[in-house]
Structure 1
Amino acid sequence: MNETGSLREDVTVRRSGELQLGAEDHVLRARQRAREVAESEGFSITDVTRIVTAVSELARNIHLYAGDGTMSWRVLEDGDRDGLEITFDDDGPGIDDVEGVLAATHSTSDGMGRGIQGTRKLMDEFWLSSSTDTGTTVTIRKWQ
């Protein structure tokens, strides 16, 4: 198993939800849900755009490489700050070179291999776990 990043778990969850991903139009549904939640929580338009861009990339990856999976989200409180956590989970083939993908030196498609690396840069916290046996889980967080 390849794992990178870390997330604090001692946060308060105010609300949460889940969305099944599989078909291509589910990428759009994931983007819409992320936008709705981020806007309702008062994120700036810049941060809403960052969140929606990251969600688009990760939902698209599930559609292209795993076939189906889930996007779950949680609105968080951590002391005096609020945030949004979104987790993408699939049972697909996994990522064989996580470090290469994060460094943009390895791509699982014919693209430039910058999707996950770009997603990581857009968010405040990033965690990825992948195994060829169990699939991939990516969790991202943005704080206000």
Structure 2
Amino acid sequence: MTGTEIVICPDCATANRLPAGRLDEAPKCGRCGKPLFAARPVALDGAGFDRLMRLGTLPVLVDYWAGWCGPCRAMAPQFEAAAAELEPRVRLAKVDVDAEAALAARQGIQSMPTLALYQGGREIARRSGLIDRASLVRWVQSALPRR
């Protein structure tokens, strides 16, 4: 892999430019010094979502969920386990549709859980319903164009 990636820090939201070949080397934020990848999804609000889509260059997999949704709660550990497998090549994030109703409406979320995969700020794949970790990882890998 050649070129650079822009990775948004999950803690301070700073955009960090990194050589693509060094993503696996546990990079830290140039501003706050915290790890850019923690093998777990990041929680996003509307502003964080917009910043990630506008500035970040990594593909982003978003889990749109709700606390009252049984399948969402059942899928949460599967999604977290997938983060350990997909990072640092894909950023995994969660959006609580109750707390971020405007964002969910803007993205056309009608059922939960819904997974949406974005690249370059544009949605490239979507699926709804409960999915296990292995199937989730296969789905993401098959949906992403070869880089």
TM-score (norm 1): 0.32
- Which protein has the bigger strand share? 1
TM-score (norm 2): 0.32
Higher RCO (CA < 8 A, seq sep 6+) = 1
